[in-house]
Amino acid sequence: MYRSMATLIVLLATALPAPAAGETFQTDAWRYLPVLGGGRHKPLDTLARDSVWAITGQTSVADPESGQTVEPTALYLEMVLQRQDWGPAADPHVAGGLSELAAYFASHEPDKWDEAPLLPVTNAQLRKALAMDDGQKRISPVELCKAKIEDPESSKRAPFLIWVQSVRPDESGKFGKFQKAARELSERLWSYHILRTAQGLRMMPIRGDKTGRWYSAAALTRLDFDDKSDPSGEMRMVQLHLRDAKAAYLADSPESFNEASDALLATLRELGPKLVDESKDYPTPGIIRLEVGYNTWRPFRVAWIFTLIAAVGLAIGSTNTRWKAVSVAGLVALAVGLGAILIGLVIRWVLKGTPPVTNLYESVVFTALGTAAFGLVFGLWSRRHGILAAAAVVTTIILLLADFCPSVLDPALRPLPPVLRSPEFLVIHVMTIMLGYAALALAVGIGNVTLGTYLLGLHQEETIKVQCRFTYESLKAGVLLLLVGTILGGIWADFSWGRFWGWDKKEVWALITLLAYLIILHARHTNWLGNRGMTAGAVLCFTFVLMAWYGVNFLHGGLHNYGLSGEEGPLWVGSACLLQLAFVGAAIIVSYNRPTAKFD
Amino acid sequence: MRLNSRPLGIPETEGRITAPGGACPGAIGVIGLRIPAVHVDSSPFAAGSLDILFLRVRVTVMAKKRGGKSGPAHSRINAPQQEKAVDPSWGGPILASLRFLGSLKLALVLMAVSIVVLARATFLESERDLDYALWFIYHSWWFITLVSLLAGNVVVAMLLKLPWKRRHIGFLVAHAGLLVLMAGSFQTFVAGIDGHVQVVEGGPPAESLILRDRSQLTTSWREGDATVAVDFSFAPGPADWPGGRTKDLGESDEIRVKVLGLYRHAYGTAGWGEDPSGVSSPVIHFALVGADGRQVTEKWLVGRKTIGTTMTVGPTNVTLSEVPVRSMLADLLDPPTDKLGAKGLLSIHYKGQVKQIPVDENVGKTVSIGDDGTKVEIVRYLAQPTSEPDGTFNSAGDEPHNPMLDLWVHLPNVKEPLRQLSLAKTPLMDFSGSRGIECPVKFFYHHPAVAVRQAVEFLQAPDGKLFCRVGTGKRYESRGEVGEGDTIKTSSGYQVHLLRHVRHARRETKFTPVKKKPGQSAAPEAAAHFEVSVAGETQEIWLQRNNRQFGAYTMQTPKGPMRIDFDYAQCPLGFSLKLIDFERGMNPGGMGDATYSSVVEIEDKSGLTQQHKIAMNEPAEYGKFTLYQSGFDNAGDGREVSRLRVAYDPGRLLKYAGCVMICLGTFMVFYLRGLF
């Protein structure tokens, strides 16, 4: 199935107007070059995007001279090919230390990329220690290589590259914020170095290597193959074409570059599958095209655009029963959004080989899928705008979070740690939990719509009652799924680790969440909570879900010692929870002071 | 307009029977009446294809409640309780309290309390560690009580629903499932085994599993050819024991062990303490102070029986010796200098009496000492003794060089004479013990050819008093009895400051408790203070768990030397497990581990072997145990070490059954209400 989808995406991609050939450097075909990086095979397109992110913390980079944003693969190739010297590496498979980098600038003039402010320095203390201007948020690679840092403890100044290697964790194995920021910065510089010296561009498998290693471009140009190590001569052809391409690029000759790169890519396409060991795979062109398509079209971005349209359409449609077309358009947009999420997740499944619920990003996206699906079902069942709109809004919010918080929700495709490699159980467990969260998120959405319409006085009693009923339905579905999912988690843990329940923080917070919702359901059941109480409860109890899902990750080694990149995360989530509390409180206070309206 | 019905409290559009619970005792006011209701739908999605979703006709019966709140349809579960509340036959304080115990109100309070406790526990776990939270919360008596209360509440709530009706099935299944799950968990908690084994590739097989949460003190001694061992196991807990807390580990084989204190994490520093058995050698701790008053060094010196110990410190020597009999002190503190003949003077000590015999005229003669007929024969004088391969001695020359006397001691009731040697250079050396019979006659050989050393010599008398003499190179000066805090001046201007003197010393480790930081993995092990009594003999010792240096101690007991080991508790596997091969699977390009797996060989008691492969997420089962791959390490010599979790879970079946029941019951309550 994914093949046909890939073909479709490729067709769409190729249908784009191609730039005039012959005069410019053609790098588009390079996007589809299979490379090895981060423990998996991927197209150069993905590697280029990952590298840009790893170096700059941004998804795109502008050319320092023209100021125009450059397409990631073109940028990657430019940065690799423009470099005169791919550096001395004694062992072609192992990269040298940071000192290699300092040595480079001692004998080479920095080029425009070396002088471009690429590396972000987010920590103010670190900026000060590096004697950067207060307004200067980024530092260029050459500046950083020559920078001296003032050690915050000893107040001594030392070259940054030397100092950073002496940074050690404290007794509990953790780094302070300053040290963490410094290490992060050195890692960015390291990524830059690896990119520029073509050591990251692992483009050709080492013949029959059991561990599945690939030659980097840097290694390829240095190696001497003979008839024994390269009987068909194809590896030498690759070498030749690579050298030609580089020479042509440096000579600013697009024609010969395009010719050499076409030949290079064609040879690699032929040669690659023949080189890999029997126990390893070489990515098929279909998979590569699929991943490039995924990178280009970003299905989850498409999805939130549609769900946003759905939310607006449904909100407008609800104000006037005669604007049926707007409502129907909203409904269709929601369904399209749902489809886009589904397609995106299926593509990730195909690319990773494991179902797409194995990291925080994927679980968040999967929850969006669940919210949209539950919203559609409940919305069509109830035929209420409010419920569909609530689903659209919640889905949009979740997808926006996934799309715009890449430092917390890492969208990169990564191989799984060993303990998670138990597809059946893990997948069912996580999917069930995430669907549960989705239903509970929908309950929050419907609850907020109810409270909002009530606060604004737009409500009809009947609508409120229907919405409350579906809040209750969402709670039921959510609690049952959460229950089953938590139990499946126990079974998975029992199967994998030999214990059903280990009082792990994550487990305990899942239990707390369940208990909280069970209190609401039991209290609703006996009518100690009316519609109003249940709505408030359904909205507020989601705090527990956030804690179990996200907050728990910050509950280790003390509350202050969490990841630098996600520093503001808990603050934002906490503020959102407080805002929600205030909103619920306001609705309840208003409901007590509004004797005529029935909402209790 | 469409015929429609809605469940759940939408009274405007639905038929509703009001059951005035309070005024209608015993009435089954809530039954499954199916009343279609007319519903005007104003939704914009009037598409016919969607109708299927709206064709469900549900029962909606509302119980009239206080305050007129309308609840969802299945508030009927609650209704029988209300009926019973007014049933005169349901009276009495016992039933009233039963109803309280089974009330939903109590359940909700208990659940709310649980939430608070559990949340607190997770924070506690972050601040300390999981062991801490387990000990003080999850496995504490009060938390178990809380869970038991919840279980009791569920039981009573189920009983209060008697006689059970069809409609109760979902409720009963779900809540009984909860009880079954709790029962299974309790069974695991009480009878389950959860430990690990660590096996080296090609190394010795593992016979028992290690339990992380229990510790044991193992006492072992030789009985004939066999080693007998007795284990005393206890749960040390995750924290330092408060002062005064002790734990008696009971008595077995005349050995009684008591834990007097415990530090969860402690650094040990080796030192010396008094040995109550009074047989070990003395130890001194001294400081060497230079002429300018600055301390040069600080040392511990362990005296050895029979020959003493010498330590060269700075410009001087410090020695510590034990004097076998009190009367010999005079030989050391006030040695004869003028009366020595060419072959010296022999002091013979017997029963407190001293006899000094000039050697010159007595070689080959027998001297009678004491009144009981004990005689000493000076067999030979060897000026330069050399030992021959056959065990005899010869003299290499006549020039005296560590001259030696070959002596025979004739004891009154002993047929064979005891052979003794006395060396002038090491006069305290006593060969008495080497023949198996302690010789009651002691000798001290003074010889003019033996030079006076430059040394500070500490001498411990048999009563434990410490004396000192200082050798100036020309003569010995007595400093008389010395004690802790005394300063002894040497001839070279240095001073020896005696800091500590332990009459009979044994190694004693001082432990300083340390606090583990959250997330710190390499905190030192626990140290405990034990009181071990063997057949009336009692000793107190500090030992560190699972520690090569401080984890073991040998105690002198009436049973003979007894080894004491402090380690994690172990539990026999019932089979032996050998690691044949350990493998790590890598991601493409060698980036990170993809999988790990161990091939183990299991040998049962009858000697049958079989191989099993254990991988992440692929456990192996053997006997009652399940073996899981949990980690790996390196033995340091390139061989790999596999860490396996070994667990026995007797409550698994109940837990799984309970889980299925909970899910099924909840599903029935939520979605199959109409069917029952």
pLDDT at A72 over 80: yes
Q: Which of B511, B92, B93 is nearest to B261 (CA)?
A: B511
- Our CA-based measurement puts residue A424 at a distance from the nearest CA of chain B, in whole angstroms, of 11
Neighbouring CB atoms inside 10 A of B564's CB total 24
CB contact under 8 A, A511 and B118: yes
Same domain, A163 and A247: no
Same domain, B89 and B17: yes
Classify residue A52: in a domain, yes or no. yes
pLDDT confidence of A339, banded at 50, 70, 90? very high
Same domain, A207 and A70: yes
pLDDT at A561 over 50: no
CB nearest A36 (choices: B112, B114, B588): B588
pLDDT confidence of A307, banded at 50, 70, 90? very high
Q: Which of B72, B173, B180, B176 is nearest to B666 (CA)?
A: B173
Among B469, B489, B504, the domain-final residue is B504
In chain A, residues with a C-beta closer than 8 Å to the C-beta of B123 are: 555
pLDDT at A20 over 70: no
Got the DSSP string for B114-160? HHHHHHHHHHHHHHS-HHHHIIIIITSHHHHHHHHHHHHHHHHHHHH
Candidate from A90-104, A132-146, A159-173, A523-537 with smallest mean pLDDT: A90-104
Residues 6 or more apart whose Cβ sits within 8 Å of residue A448: A390, A539, A580, A583
Classify residue B151: in a domain, yes or no. yes
Per the CB < 8 A criterion, the answer to whether B201 and B641 are in contact is: yes
In percent, the amount of chain A with pLDDT more than 90 equals 28
Same domain, A104 and A192: yes
pLDDT of res. A70: 86
**Cis? peptide before B524, omega within 30° of 0:** no
Classify residue A443: in a domain, yes or no. no
Torsion of CA B212, B214, B220, B226, to 10 degrees: -70
- For an interface test with A, give the residue of B6, B113, B122 to mutate (most A CBs within 10 A): B122
Q: Which of A444, A439, A446 is nearest to A466 (CA)?
A: A446
Candidate from A62-71, A287-296, B57-66 with smallest mean pLDDT: B57-66
Among A256, A283, A310, the domain-final residue is A283
Candidate from B77-81, B187-191, B192-196 with smallest mean pLDDT: B77-81
Classify residue B671: in a domain, yes or no. no
pLDDT of res. B74: 42
Candidate from B62-76, B139-153, B484-498 with smallest mean pLDDT: B62-76
Same domain, B420 and B510: no
- For an interface test with B, give the residue of A517, A526, A555, A556 to mutate (most B CBs within 10 A): A526
Same domain, A175 and A57: no
C-alpha distances in angstroms, A240 versus A88, A224, A251?
20, 11, 16
CB contact under 8 A, B118 and A508: yes
Classify residue A236: in a domain, yes or no. yes
Greatest mean pLDDT range, A345-349, B220-224, B603-607: A345-349
Same domain, B269 and B135: no
Among A178, A196, A214, the domain-final residue is A196
- Our CA-based measurement puts residue A16 at a distance from the nearest CA of chain B, in whole angstroms, of 34
pLDDT confidence of B49, banded at 50, 70, 90? very low
pLDDT of res. A560: 38
Domains: count for chain A: 2
- Our CA-based measurement puts residue B452 at a distance from the nearest CA of chain A, in whole angstroms, of 55
Same domain, B415 and B319: yes
The parent domain of residue A134 ranges over 99-196
Same domain, B260 and B314: no
pLDDT of res. A536: 92
Same domain, A81 and A104: no
CB contact under 8 A, A383 and B43: yes
Same domain, A85 and A205: yes
Same domain, B462 and B369: yes
pLDDT confidence of A88, banded at 50, 70, 90? low
The stretch B202-222 carries a mean pLDDT of 89
The stretch A181-197 carries a mean pLDDT of 87
The stretch B532-551 carries a mean pLDDT of 87
Classify residue B238: in a domain, yes or no. yes
The stretch B247-261 carries a mean pLDDT of 90
CB contact under 8 A, A559 and B126: yes
- Our CA-based measurement puts residue B606 at a distance from the nearest CA of chain A, in whole angstroms, of 27
Tokens of A163: 């100092």
Same domain, A202 and A64: yes
CB contact under 8 A, A515 and B65: no
In chain A, residues with a C-beta closer than 8 Å to the C-beta of B656 are: 491
Per the CB < 8 A criterion, the answer to whether B228 and B215 are in contact is: no
pLDDT confidence of A211, banded at 50, 70, 90? confident
pLDDT confidence of B419, banded at 50, 70, 90? confident
pLDDT of res. B278: 77
pLDDT at A253 over 90: no
The CATH number of the domain holding residue B199 is 2.60.98.10
For residue A221, how many C-alpha atoms fall within 13 Å in the half-sphere facing its CB?
A: 21
- Our CA-based measurement puts residue B472 at a distance from the nearest CA of chain A, in whole angstroms, of 52
Per the CB < 8 A criterion, the answer to whether B593 and B585 are in contact is: yes
Domains: count for chain B: 4
Same domain, B406 and B353: yes
pLDDT of res. A420: 65
Same domain, B197 and B231: no
Classify residue A229: in a domain, yes or no. yes
Same domain, A74 and A208: yes
pLDDT at A571 over 60: yes
Side chain identity, residue B541: I
Kindly identify which residue of chain B lies nearest to residue A471, measuring between CA atoms.
Answer: B8
The stretch A480-492 carries a mean pLDDT of 92
pLDDT of res. B217: 93
pLDDT of res. B38: 36
- Our CA-based measurement puts residue B482 at a distance from the nearest CA of chain A, in whole angstroms, of 46
The stretch B490-496 carries a mean pLDDT of 84
CB contact under 8 A, A498 and B194: yes
Kindly identify which residue of chain A lies nearest to residue B196, measuring between CA atoms.
Answer: A498
The parent domain of residue B614 ranges over 191-206+571-648
- Our CA-based measurement puts residue A328 at a distance from the nearest CA of chain B, in whole angstroms, of 8
Q: Which of B191, B152, B190 is nearest to B624 (CA)?
A: B191
Classify residue B676: in a domain, yes or no. no
Span A27-40, pLDDT tens digits: 888 999 999 888 88
**SS3 assignment, position B274:** strand
Q: Which of B24, B125, B96, B489 is nearest to A505 (CA)?
A: B125
Same domain, B358 and B391: yes
The stretch A574-581 carries a mean pLDDT of 90
In chain A, residues with a C-beta closer than 8 Å to the C-beta of B592 are: 39, 415, 417
CB contact under 8 A, A526 and B13: no
CB contact under 8 A, A557 and B518: yes
Same domain, B102 and B44: yes
pLDDT of res. A562: 36
In chain B, residues with a C-beta closer than 8 Å to the C-beta of A557 are: 126, 518-519
pLDDT at A129 over 70: yes
pLDDT at B173 over 90: yes
- Our CA-based measurement puts residue B260 at a distance from the nearest CA of chain A, in whole angstroms, of 30
Same domain, A134 and A217: no
Classify residue A465: in a domain, yes or no. no
CB contact under 8 A, B50 and A499: no
The stretch A44-64 carries a mean pLDDT of 88
C-alpha to C-alpha distance for B161 and B9, rounded to whole angstroms: 24
The stretch B280-284 carries a mean pLDDT of 88
pLDDT at B349 over 70: yes
Tokens of B396: 């290499």
**SS3 assignment, position B240:** coil
Same domain, B318 and B260: no
Classify residue A418: in a domain, yes or no. no
- Our CA-based measurement puts residue B15 at a distance from the nearest CA of chain A, in whole angstroms, of 15
CB–CB contacts below 8 A, A to B: 222
Same domain, A72 and A219: yes
- For an interface test with A, give the residue of B18, B45, B671 to mutate (most A CBs within 10 A): B45
Kindly identify which residue of chain B lies nearest to residue A386, measuring between CA atoms.
Answer: B43
pLDDT at B287 over 70: yes
pLDDT of res. A231: 82
CB contact under 8 A, A469 and B78: no
Kindly identify which residue of chain A lies nearest to residue B668, measuring between CA atoms.
Answer: A480
Question: Can you count the helices (H) and strands (E) in chain A?
Answer: 22, 10
CB contact under 8 A, B595 and A418: yes
Same domain, A106 and A171: yes
Span B421-480, pLDDT tens digits: 888 888 888 776 566 677 888 888 888 888 888 889 999 988 889 999 998 888 888 888
Same domain, B319 and B464: yes
Classify residue B61: in a domain, yes or no. yes
ipTM of the complex: 0.83
pLDDT of res. B32: 34
In percent, the amount of chain B with pLDDT more than 90 equals 22
pLDDT at A122 over 90: no
In chain B, residues with a C-beta closer than 8 Å to the C-beta of A419 are: 616-617
The stretch B245-272 carries a mean pLDDT of 89
CB contact under 8 A, A555 and B123: yes
Among A268, A283, A298, the domain-final residue is A283
Span B570-581, pLDDT tens digits: 988 888 898 888
Classify residue B662: in a domain, yes or no. no
Classify residue A156: in a domain, yes or no. yes
pLDDT of res. B556: 82
Kindly identify which residue of chain B lies nearest to residue A501, measuring between CA atoms.
Answer: B185
- Our CA-based measurement puts residue A493 at a distance from the nearest CA of chain B, in whole angstroms, of 9
pLDDT of res. A422: 63
Q: Tell me the pLDDT of chain A averaged across its residues.
A: 83
In chain B, residues with a C-beta closer than 8 Å to the C-beta of A319 are: none
Classify residue A516: in a domain, yes or no. no
Classify residue B396: in a domain, yes or no. yes
Classify residue B665: in a domain, yes or no. no
The stretch A46-71 carries a mean pLDDT of 87
CB contact under 8 A, B587 and A415: yes
In chain B, residues with a C-beta closer than 8 Å to the C-beta of A418 are: 593-596, 616
Tokens of A408: 């917390």
Q: Tell me the pLDDT of chain B averaged across its residues.
A: 80
Work out the widest C-alpha separation in chain A, in whole angstroms: 93
